[in-house]
Each structure stands twice: as C-alpha cells, then as structure tokens.
Amino acid sequence: MKVTWKLSDGSEIVGDVADGVNLMEGAILNKVPNIIGECGGHLSCATCHVYVDDAWQATVGEPDAFEDDMLDIAEDERLPSSRLSCQLIASDALNGLVLVLP
C-alpha cells in the first residue's frame, strides 16, 4: 500500500508499506525522519506519534484505551487526530493514507 508522510518543513515522503506491517516500521523503512520507534512498536514510548490527515480519520478509527493513555506522554502536542503509528497496520483499506508529522 502507499502512504504519504507530510513533514513539518512542507515536504512529503511517499512510500510503500507491505500489508500487515505497522506504519512505524513502514516509516523507518522509508527513512521518514523523526519517527523513532524507540520501543520497537510495543506501545511503550510514543516516539512514533503522528497526526492522521482529516480525510482518513474515520477510516483509521480511534485509539484503544492503552494507546490513548500513551498519547498523553507524546512529546509533541496531542490533537484529536493523534495516533501512534505502531498501532496502525498497513492494509488495502488504508491504501493512500496520509500521515502528518508533528
């Protein structure tokens, strides 16, 4: 599937992510800066915080309770569109997804 990461400087990175791979890993494979994934995707660090583009929020859905708690410790401002990219899994339903980096 294709994912677009919009960077804070206005540039974009468009990359492919295989089905079943979490988007934190996908960002690292596509050399997206500032997606660290310090915990390796185990939902314990919030270093893969992203904002889901408005057009995709309904498709992506809401974070579960544990992710919601982890978003409270994210370094950057938490917005209603905030998600941890380690909890977003590549699938056909998300093909074309746009994520914005804080």
Read off the pLDDT of residues 13-55 as tens digits, 9 standing for 90 and up: 999 999 999 999 999 999 999 999 999 898 999 999 999 999 9
Residue 58 three-state SS: helix
Average pLDDT over all residues of the chain: 96
Contact between 24 and 37 under an 8 Å Cβ cutoff? The reply is: yes
Superfamily of the domain at 2-100: Beta-grasp domain (3.10.20.30)
pTM, 2 dp: 0.95
pLDDT band for position 5 (50/70/90)?
very high
pLDDT band for position 91 (50/70/90)?
very high
**Distance between CA atoms of residues 37 and 27, nearest Å:** 9
**Distance between CA atoms of residues 38 and 52, nearest Å:** 20
Could you give the angle at the alpha carbon of 7 between the alpha carbons of 72 and 81, nearest 5°? 35
The domains of the chain are located at 2-100
